[in-house]
Structure 1
């Protein structure tokens, strides 16, 4: 049945990939990656346009998946997806929501798990959109660039593209996230220390007049 749906969407080219990517972020269990590769093999010169269509469709579908999770909770996930996918995604979210979304953009776990789970766990939508945009853009455009420059011969290159991105891009992205968060923590600590010193100074100024003896 899913193959029939993909064959039908394939007839519409970029619009079919747009719809597939949208549904991939909401409910459809087959990743849009497969349709992107199939269409890119047929039309290598349009590979970047296909990547753009898929990326936009995913971004528009992300808040819809988030809303489903917000309204229906995990019950909808257990009805449409494998329990081990949901448990793995939940474990990653509990450790670090941002990293879970980035990693989820490249793993075999369907991306809809992370969009719906974000809604279930009240993860901020703007953060979901930001990290989803970063992760999904990387995956869509890596495939698009390979087909655009290497044509049909890129088919063998993209077989393990998720693994390559996961090994190379994800560590770099996580390192950037770590450095940004560490910088924020240092700035927050400095702000709190400055506020503490100011409070102590004001307290000392209040105590000082009380300890002074009146002159004769």
Structure 2
């Protein structure tokens, strides 16, 4: 299914990448970095442009996911879960949402999960956008930079080290975030 969806969007080139990145923020189950990698593999000299297109589409789609969560997700959640569970989840997202959104913005977990949940749990749209810009920027530009620097060999690097790199960056971001939060509390 991923391959079929990726092929459909690949037909439209850079506009397909933009559309997939935009739709990934709230509905499509295929992450745009598969298409970004495919396009960068074909034309490594345009890898940074592809990173910019994917980044822009993803960031522009984030508020759509947020609004869907706010308008549709909250009433659905209230029908499915007891009120105390919803209140507890809202409280936890308010407390840990910064880390969730930041780390989730560049991990393989679908980005739409974080945009929609942000709306459902009344997380700040401003914070969502700030952390999405940071996290999505790291993700798309890291891939773009690899292809820009290493050309087609970057695919081998991604295949070998992507998971470890993403986990390492995620751990580093989590540690920095915890230190920042601790200092903020003590100030």
TM-score under structure 1 normalisation? 0.73
Q: 3-state SS of the aligned residue for 1:156?
A: helix
| Structure 1: distance between partners of 2:95 and 2:108 | 19
Deviations 1:26-67 (A, max 9, x none): 100011111111101001000000001000111000000000
Matched with 1:164 is 165
Does residue 104 of the first structure (1) align with residue 119 of the second (2)? no
1:32 touches 1:54 (CA, 8 Å); kept in 2? yes
Give the alignment's Cα RMSD to 1 decimal.
Answer: 2.4
1:103 touches 1:166 (CA, 8 Å); kept in 2? no
| Structure 2: distance between partners of 1:76 and 1:36 | 34
Matched with 2:53 is 53
Give the CA deviation at 1:148: 0.7
Give the CA deviation at 1:162: 4.1
Matched with 1:141 is 141
Report matched runs for 1:1-216 at 5 Å.
Answer: 3-73=3-73, 93=93, 96-159=96-159, 160-167=161-168, 169-187=169-187
> Which protein has the larger Cα radius of gyration, Structure 1 or Structure 2?
1
Higher relative contact order (CA 8 A, sep 6+): 2
| Structure 2: distance between partners of 1:26 and 1:3 | 19
Unaligned runs of 5+ residues in structure 1 are 78-88, 188-216
| Structure 1: distance between partners of 2:133 and 2:27 | 18
Matched residue count: 175
Unaligned runs of 5+ residues in structure 2 are 78-88
Q: Runs of 4+ in structure 1 displaced over 6 angstroms?
A: none
Give the CA deviation at 1:180: 2.3
1:9 touches 1:20 (CA, 8 Å); kept in 2? yes
| Structure 2: distance between partners of 1:42 and 1:176 | 36
2:74 touches 2:121 (CA, 8 Å); kept in 1? no
Deviations 1:119-142 (A, max 9, x none): 001111111111111111111111
**1:95–1:23 distance in 2 versus 1, CA, 3 Å:** same
TM-score under structure 2 normalisation? 0.83
Give the CA deviation at 1:170: 1.9
Give the CA deviation at 1:174: 2.1
